[in-house]
Structure formats: C-alpha cells, structure tokens
C-alpha cells in the first residue's frame, strides 16, 4: 500500500512538472520568436502570432567572445531598438551562461561597468529566481538600472532528448511589464468547467482493477 501511494505521488508530481515545463516553453517561445505553437496528441497544431516587429531582432556584427566586438555598444543598440518600438528601455537582459562568460571577460564591458567600482560587482551572483532545475541566476545590476540574468533551463522532449528553452548564444531584452497567464476551461464537470493551472484527478476501474 505504501509503494502504491508513493507511485501515485510520483506520477502526479511528474504531470505537474510537465505542465510547468510547458508554461516555461510557451514563455520562451514568445520571448524568442514572438509566436506561440499550441499542439498535442489530440490538439491540432495552432500558431498564435503576437505580431512582433521584425526590427526587434538584432544580431551584433561580432559575437562577444571575438576580438574587436563591442558588447556595450550592442547592448545600447538593443535598448534603443526596444525604446523605439515600445516606449520603454527595458529592465533586464536575459542570456545563456556562455554569453555571460564572454561578456564578463570583455574589456569593453569591464571598463564601463566593473573597473570604475574597484572591480566589485554590486550584486552577488547565483541569486535564484525560479524553482526546480530550471533556475535563472541574477548576475549583476548595472549602474544604468539594467539587470543581467542567465537562464539555462531545459526540458526533455518526447524522444528523451534535452532541449534548452533559450538557444545557445542567445541574449534578449525584457521589460518589467506585467502580463496575463490564461488557462483554458477544464472539460470536466467535476472541475465545474473551471480554468485552473492544475486539476488533479484519479478514477477507479473495478474489473480489471486499476487506478487511473
């Protein structure tokens, strides 16, 4: 009986984490592409396009791990693009850890944001922001108010392969604007057709005996 109950808890926890991973994936898709793909085994593929302006996509001439790259100028360009499109300069830079490692070693970045303060960063690294294995880390808060986060969260796809939410080498500007998370109605009378993040449910089959 104890093993049976433990199995129930583990399966429910796996399903809950699957939902959380899906929400993270949806956020990452909107963040990186401006679109959202909705589909499942019994849901036909449907694309939600939020109409992101194509000019919001920016790639520097040289990546920040190369000589003669200009990360400070590139960040300013990204902020200016966001202001022209939204009226806000944004508040956060979100990037993969590999990008941060290249940025923090760059003389251009150090000369502007670290050396003037005696080499002391004004926040501690590795401040966790999320839960479970998909944690975002706060790296530094710049004197212009911009905060830099790294995010290397991942999920496992249907084939058992590790897939990162953000592509390798990615860096993007995020505003502090609040958003709305919408859930569809649960097509179940026991849920009163309500819209919930989770609706745990079990039901018994008597012969053959099984719990679903």
pLDDT at 23: 85
Going from the C-alpha of 59 to that of each of 30, 64, 69, 74, 96, the distances in angstroms are: 18, 11, 12, 9, 15
pLDDT at 116: 80
H or E element that contains 172: strand 171-174
Mean pLDDT (whole number) for 117-146: 66
pLDDT greater than 80 at residue 8:
yes
What does pLDDT average to over the chain? 87
pLDDT at 79: 92
Going from the C-alpha of 34 to that of each of 31, 48, 51, 148, 172, the distances in angstroms are: 6, 9, 7, 21, 12
pLDDT at 133: 53
For residue 90, give both structure tokens.
Answer: 């944004």
pLDDT at 122: 56
User: How far is residue 7's CA from residue 13's CA, in Å, rounded to a whole number?
Assistant: 10
Question: Higher model confidence: residue 175 or residue 6?
Answer: 6
* Residue 163, CB-side half-sphere exposure with 13 Å CA sphere: 14
Residue that is written with structure tokens 């500007």 in the block = 173
Per-residue pLDDT of 182-204, as tens digits, reads 888 999 999 999 999 999 999 99
pLDDT at 48: 92
Per-residue pLDDT of 19-60, as tens digits, reads 888 888 888 898 899 999 888 888 899 999 999 999 999 999
């Amino acid at each position: 009986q104890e093993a049976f109950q433990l199995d129930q808890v583990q399966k429910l926890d796996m399903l809950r984490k699957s939902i959380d991973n899906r929400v993270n994936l949806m956020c990452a898709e909107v963040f990186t592409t401006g679109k959202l793909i909705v589909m499942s085994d019994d849901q036909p593929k449907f694309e939600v396009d939020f109409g992101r302006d194509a000019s919001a996509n920016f790639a520097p001439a040289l990546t920040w791990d190369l000589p003669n790259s200009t990360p400070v100028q590139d960040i300013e360009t990204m902020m200016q693009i966001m202001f022209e499109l939204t009226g806000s300069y944004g508040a956060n830079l979100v990037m993969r850890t590999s990008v941060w490692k290249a940025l923090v070693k760059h003389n251009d970045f150090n000369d502007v944001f670290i050396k003037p303060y005696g080499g002391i960063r004004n926040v501690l690294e590795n401040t966790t922001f999320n839960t479970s294995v998909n944690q975002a880390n706060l790296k530094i808060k710049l004197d212009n108010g911009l905060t830099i986060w790294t995010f290397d969260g991942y999920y496992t796809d249907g084939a058992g392969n590790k897939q990162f939410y953000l592509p390798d080498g990615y860096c993007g500007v995020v505003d502090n604007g609040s958003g709305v998370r919408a859930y569809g109605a649960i097509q179940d009378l026991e849920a009163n057709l309500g819209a919930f993040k989770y609706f745990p449910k079990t039901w018994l089959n008597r012969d053959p005996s099984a719990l679903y």
